[in-house]
Structure 1
Amino acid sequence: MAPPATQKALVITEVGKPLELVTDWAVPQPGPDQVLLKVTVAGLNPHDGKTREWGLFAPKLPAVIANDVTGTVVALGPGVTKYQIGDRVVSQPEFRGNYAQNGLQEYAVNDISAGCKIPDSITDDEAASLPTNIIAPLVGLFATEHGLGIPAPWTEGAKSFDYKNTALLIIGGGSNCGKFAVQLAKLANIGTIISVGGFDEELKGFGATHVLDRHGGEEAVLERIRKVVADDLIYVFDAINPPETLVLGMKALSSTKKGRLARLLPTHPADKSTVLGKKAGFDVVDVYGSSQAQPNLAYPFWKRVPEYLTSGKLKPLNFVVKNGLTADNVNMVLDGYRDGARVTKTHIHL
């Protein structure tokens, strides 16, 4: 049966105001290298709250949000052979205002390279825990320009890179992006994977070699880090800190070897003035976790995701479910992000 011409969708009509339900939103049409999905799960993340409150990824209004999407293929774009009608697919929409791909609507377009078929052993909810929260650390760890530049394990550069003797510090390892950063580091066989924050048993189950208490003040945490890496650390991935509190990662970097810190919250430039004694210097790079913006890295990764999931090399994260494409369901979650509440990753079932 052909998809309808219009559909239900939740839209931002005014920045700073609750989402509203509309019933006459146009159903998008898939183009080349695209398919149309009947959406089953739309996953929400903190950036969705920032989009509602600040217009972060909403260059024009009205706007549909949600960048973790799963669905069933109902139409193929011209020449598409990767999928068949009825396949279950997980998708990461782009962030550039092409709302046809986002999840809070009944039908959404998928760029076939920015996602994959969901293995039979994996539920739609498990798959929907991946896109936003795994692509950000994928770029943060492995991108050359907008990340730490560690070679992805399937690339040519991996053949000569010394993963075993490499140390990686992940600040905010207990966050969803931090948990996937640990898993990706383990996937690459990085020898020393240190998380600041998070639950010891969970993160060591994901592959962390050290899980450090984040409490007690900056100097106490630095001392814990240096007991593991001494003055040799050159790779830091910070999943949680805005510029005002980025200093821990910068100070943890080596004073004699040039280091690199990749950050997820680049709201404004990092203040390096309090970080002294770094004779070789260091770089702070801003991570943009978009599959479409990093196709040479993300698309080969998505090809491998089904095997990583079925083999257990990647483990989905926890989530809670709200049933129904209703404004109340979504606005309640986004209110929690706005108000600084502890929010478990929430999936809207359509």
Structure 2
Amino acid sequence: MKAVYVDDAYTVVVKDVDIPEISANEVLIKVKVAGICGSDIHTYKGLHPFRKPPVIIGHEIAGEIVKIGEAVTKFQLGDRVTVEPQSGCGTCEYCLTGKVNYCVHRGAPGIGDWYGAMAEYFTAPEQTVFKLPDDMNYEQGVLVEPFAVGVHAVRKADIGVGDKVAVLGAGPIGLLAMAAAKAAGATTLMVTDVMDYALDSAVQMGATHTLNIMSKPEWMTEAKALVGGEFDKVLIAAGVPGIIDQSLALLRKGGRMVTIAMFHGTQTFDIHNLQNQEKEIVGCMTYTREDTISAIDLIGAGAVNEEAIITHRLTYEQAAEGFRLVDKKEDSSLKVLVTFE
């Protein structure tokens, strides 16, 4: 089969590899569409903490089941599916309480023997596979995984009806987190970025306010003025230096921020801005099964305007171009999809 490799930092190639064998509790999926995620770009740059080149890249997937392990009971040949790309040990305290994302033995595509999803075929344990509704297309299906990240972040932030929410960063994860916040009842949605085209997409997806913060060191004051006060919640979808202090400046007393972005290096902030006003910083790691189910339901209900976020559809032979587009933010790129049709 054909598979897309990050062969080395900034080097993407297509290779021929054997179709992977499945175990008794796995299914084999013929991949229709895979997505390029921001975390894939970290691998592309050689910066990802545990997914290192050379590796078959990718974990956002939608496709069709073409082979079933003998112990699989919930799926049939031909089922249209997506995958929650993480698998726990199944026996630890975290797995038993539905927090597979906490499992110290958590597996993910592109780690160890589990091939990445950007290939003609992909294996997945039965418990990680989800059927797509009949009226959901494969492009919507491939958005389930990144949207589940946003759903999880919104739950960690405890966003509810009437909340004022700031989303810092209008990449695909930031935009999908904003859509999840809107679905949870937030009525004021401010999105910041340095790219006008990304902010235009934020408006299409339901943002009430946007702000280009390029060359604006005091943009937090302007953001608060635009919405008439401080924010209840802040979702951080850009891992840039100083963003923790900036988020604290946006929050009301007792407000909460959630860190979604992948950070590199150390973030410093003024502890007094956190402690004296009882503000909160909450970490966020992937999602749970509950988040994935909610993501499917919400996409099915129209919570995500996929045409506002999907900007490029490329063949697998064009994968290197797709990674460059996302990394360099060329050609107004947001979510870039790779097809295997």
TM bucket by the smaller chain? 0.7 to 0.9
Structure with more of its chain in strand, by fraction: 2
Give the drift of 1:176. Answer: 1.2
Q: Is the 8 A contact 2:182 2:206 kept in 1?
A: yes
Q: Match of 1:310?
A: 300
Q: Distance in 2 between matches of 1:37 and 1:109?
A: 6
Q: Match of 2:151?
A: 138
One-letter amino acid of the counterpart of residue 312, structure 1 = G
Question: TM-score normalized by structure 2?
Answer: 0.78
Q: Distance in 2 between matches of 1:201 and 1:9?
A: 34
Q: 2:58 aligns with which of 56, 59, 66?
A: 66
One-letter amino acid of the counterpart of residue 349, structure 1 = T
Give the drift of 1:65. Answer: 0.6
Give the drift of 1:228. Answer: 2.3
Q: Is the 8 A contact 2:241 2:267 kept in 1?
A: yes
Question: TM-score normalized by structure 1?
Answer: 0.76
Is 1:118 aligned with 2:132?
yes
Unaligned runs of 5+ in 1: 1-6, 152-162
Q: Match of 1:217?
A: 216
Q: Is the 8 A contact 1:67 1:103 kept in 2?
A: yes
SS in 2 for 1:320: strand
Q: 1:19 aligns with which of 12, 24, 41?
A: 12
Q: Match of 2:94?
A: none
Is 1:272 aligned with 2:262?
no
CA pair 270-44 structure 1, distance change in 2 beyond 3 A: same
Q: Is the 8 A contact 1:113 1:299 kept in 2?
A: no
CA pair 212-275 structure 1, distance change in 2 beyond 3 A: farther
| Aligned counterparts, 1:1-350, within 5 A | 7-13=1-7, 15-16=8-9, 18-32=11-25, 34-54=26-46, 56=48, 59=51, 62-94=54-86, 95=108, 97-98=111-112, 100-131=114-145, 133-143=146-156, 148=157, 150=158, 163-172=160-169, 174-197=170-193, 202-204=201-203, 206-214=205-213, 217-228=216-227, 230-231=229-230, 233-254=231-252, 256-257=253-254, 259-273=256-270, 276=273, 279-289=276-286, 294=287, 298-316=288-306, 317-323=309-315, 325-326=316-317, 329-339=318-328, 341=330, 342-350=332-340
Q: Is the 8 A contact 2:192 2:199 kept in 1?
A: no
One-letter amino acid of the counterpart of residue 24, structure 1 = V
SS in 2 for 1:140: helix
Root-mean-square deviation (CA, aligned residues, Å) is 3.1
Give the drift of 1:87. Answer: 1.1
Q: Distance in 1 between matches of 2:152 and 2:123?
A: 23
One-letter amino acid of the counterpart of residue 108, structure 1 = F
Give the drift of 1:31. Answer: 4.4
One-letter amino acid of the counterpart of residue 155, structure 2 = F
Q: Is the 8 A contact 2:115 2:122 kept in 1?
A: yes
Q: Is the 8 A contact 1:136 1:264 kept in 2?
A: no
Q: Distance in 2 between matches of 1:121 and 1:305?
A: 15
Q: How many residues align?
A: 312
One-letter amino acid of the counterpart of residue 184, structure 2 = A
CA pair 26-278 structure 1, distance change in 2 beyond 3 A: same
Q: Is the 8 A contact 2:84 2:292 kept in 1?
A: no
SS in 2 for 1:126: helix
Unaligned runs of 5+ in 2: 87-107
One-letter amino acid of the counterpart of residue 266, structure 1 = F
SS in 2 for 1:81: coil
Q: Distance in 2 between matches of 1:93 and 1:322?
A: 22
Kindly provide the CA deviation profile for residues 284-326 of structure 1, in whole angstroms up to 9, marking residues without a partner as x: 344322xxxx4xxx31233344443333133333232222x33
Give the drift of 1:38. Answer: 0.9
Q: Distance in 1 between matches of 2:262 and 2:39?
A: 10
CA pair 303-278 structure 1, distance change in 2 beyond 3 A: closer
Q: Distance in 1 between matches of 2:19 and 2:171?
A: 35
Q: Is the 8 A contact 1:38 1:72 kept in 2?
A: yes
Kindly provide the CA deviation profile for residues 230-260 of structure 1, in whole angstroms up to 9, marking residues without a partner as x: 24x3421011242344432221122x43533
